[in-house]
A and B are shown apart, each in its own frame.
Chain A
Amino acid sequence: AQTVTQSQPEMSVQEAETVTLSCTYDTSESNYYLFWYKQPPSRQMILVIRQEAYKQQNATENRFSVNFQKAAKSFSLKISDSQLGDTAMYFCAPNTGANSKLTFGKGITLSVRP
C-alpha cells in the first residue's frame, strides 16, 4: 500500500511569519498529482493547493506554495505571512493510483500564535 509520511505531528508559528510543513511519499508512478488539504476546527476539509508531478514549476496559491522534489518524493507546503485563520490540521494527499483515489498522511496540527 502507498505510504504518506508527515513526520511533524504539531507545529506552531507566530502570526506573520513563514512556516513549512513537510511530507514524503512513495510511488513507482511517473505521472501523478499531489494535494494539500486544510481542516480547520469547523471540520470542513478544504483544498489548499494542487501540484501536477510532470510540471517542474512549483504550484503557488496566494500565500501558499509548495516545494516539490520529485526524485526525493517530497512535497512540502510553505505558508507565508501566517494568519490566525491558518490554524488547522493539514493533510498531504498524493494520488498515484487509478480513478483519482487519494492516500492521506496522518496530518499535522498547525497553531498560529497572535
Chain B
Amino acid sequence: DVKVTQSSRYLVKRTGEKVFLECVQDMDHENMFWYRQDPGLGLRLIYFSYDVKMKEKGDIPEGYSVSREKKERFSLILESASTNQTSMYLCASSSSGQGNYGYTFGSGTRLTVV
C-alpha cells in the first residue's frame, strides 16, 4: 500500500522552539508539498518541492523553511515557533509523470504551540 508518512500525529511545542515536521513517501514521487489547514480557511500551501534540493515558496511561507535532501523525505521547519502557527499540517506528494493523478496525503500533524 503506497504511503505518505508524517512522523507525528500530535505535537505540542513551546513558543520560540525550533520545530521539525517530517514527511516520507515511498512512491518515488518527484513532487512534495506542505499545507496548513485551519477552520474556515481550507488548505493553504506553505512550500513545495519538485526535486531533491529544490524548493519553492507557496502562498504562506513566512515563518517556515523546508529541506529536501533525499527524494523521499520533505521536512518542514518552524525556525521559532509562535502561537499563530498552531494548526494542522498536511504533507502530500505527487508524480510528475504524464497526466495528473492528484496528491497522496499523509495523515496530518496537529501542532499546538503554547
Contact = CB atoms under 8 A, between A and B. Distances in A.
Interface in A58-114: 91, 93, 95, 99-107
Chain A's interface size range is 20 to 34
Given A95-B100, A99-B96, A101-B45, A45 B33 contact: no
Contacts of A35: 102
Contact of B103 (A52, A102, A105, A106): A102
B64 interface: no
A59 to B, nearest CB: 12
Majority secondary structure, A binding face: loop
Contacts of A95: 100, 102
Contacts of A100: 31, 94-96, 100, 102-103
Contacts of B88: 43
B48 interface: yes
Contact of A1 (B59, B95, B102, B107): B59
A107 B33 CA distance: 19
A11 interface: no
B31 A44 contact: no
A91 B40 CA distance: 12
Contacts, number: 56
A101 B33 contact: yes
A101 B31 CA distance: 9
Contacts of B105: 37, 44-45
Given A43-B88, A45-B90, A100-B31, A107 B103 contact: no
Contacts of A45: 90, 92, 103, 105
Contacts of B40: 9, 106
A105 B35 CA distance: 13
Chain B CB within 10 Å, residue with most, of A99, A100, A105, A107 = A100
Interface of B: 31, 33, 35, 40-45, 48, 50, 59, 88, 90, 92, 94-96, 99-103, 105, 107-108
Interface of A: 1, 9, 33, 35, 37, 42-45, 47, 50, 52, 91, 93, 95, 99-107
3 closest cross-chain pairs (CB), A and B: A106-B42, A45-B105, A104-B43
